[in-house]
Structure 1
Amino acid sequence: MTDIEPIAVEVAYALPKKQKLLSVLVKPGTTALQAAQQSGITQFFPELDLTTASMGIFGQTLGVKGLAPPESYAMQAGERVEIYRPLISDPKEVRKRVAARQKAAAEKAGVDK
């Protein structure tokens, strides 16, 4: 029987004023979710629920655009699991509000001339 060499991966999570990047050795075939769990990241961020958090690998969100979800994506040596915070507001809605304010300001400026 041969020994299986572990692979090195990283797990990252960041809040506005606190960030953590952890290196962890895992068995080949370990999923992104398992790597995050094995890293112990929740010791630093107890409010973090890894089972519901969005995750990605180097900016590619897992579970979309053909990538497997975190619970089935098999990590490769040197990859970094990024755990994403939930969005505070929908970027599309923010852009709509800004455009509406700009339009209203332009209309008001046109009236004031």
Structure 2
Amino acid sequence: MDKPNIFVEVVYALADKQKLLRLSVPAGTTVREVALRSGLDAHFADLDLATSPLGIFGKAVAKPEERLIEEGERVEIYRPLIADPKEVRKQRAAKAAQAKAAEQGE
């Protein structure tokens, strides 16, 4: 007997372009399979659905190849980070320390 279909959403966004799709998939489909079925890579040239980090409603999914999607969930396809947040904070703190030292030296 066939598995019943469920409805889910898939979303991907750049600064200037976004796409949200509603899909019907068989129950038991994984988060990664939903992303692959979405076909969003046809709309975004640099998008690799096989390796992109994925999440559901703002929470990263550690193992999208294993996590089964549930009715009504929204799969979010995340872009890779441009800069390491820890490194950015370190640079900002160093710059602030330099500015403070310059003020005190005046």
Q: Does the CA-based 8 Å contact 2:30-2:68 persist in structure 1? A: yes
Aligned residue runs from structure 1 range 5-84, under 5 A: 5-63=4-62, 69-84=63-78
Q: Runs of at least 4 residues of structure 1 off by over 3 A?
A: none
Which of 72, 91, 95 is matched with 2:89 structurally?
95
Structure 2: stretches of 5+ with no match in the other structure: none
Structure 1: stretches of 5+ with no match in the other structure: 64-68
Report the TM-score when normalising by structure 2: 0.94
In the TM superposition, residue 101 of structure 1 has moved relative to its aligned partner by 0.5
Q: Does the CA-based 8 Å contact 2:55-2:76 persist in structure 1? A: yes
Determine helix, strand or coil for the equivalent of 2:94: helix
Identity of aligned residues (%): 50
Determine helix, strand or coil for the equivalent of 1:16: coil
Size of the alignment, in residue pairs? Answer: 106
For residues 80 and 54 of structure 2, the distance between their equivalents in structure 1, rounded to whole angstroms, comes to 11
Report the TM-score when normalising by structure 1: 0.89
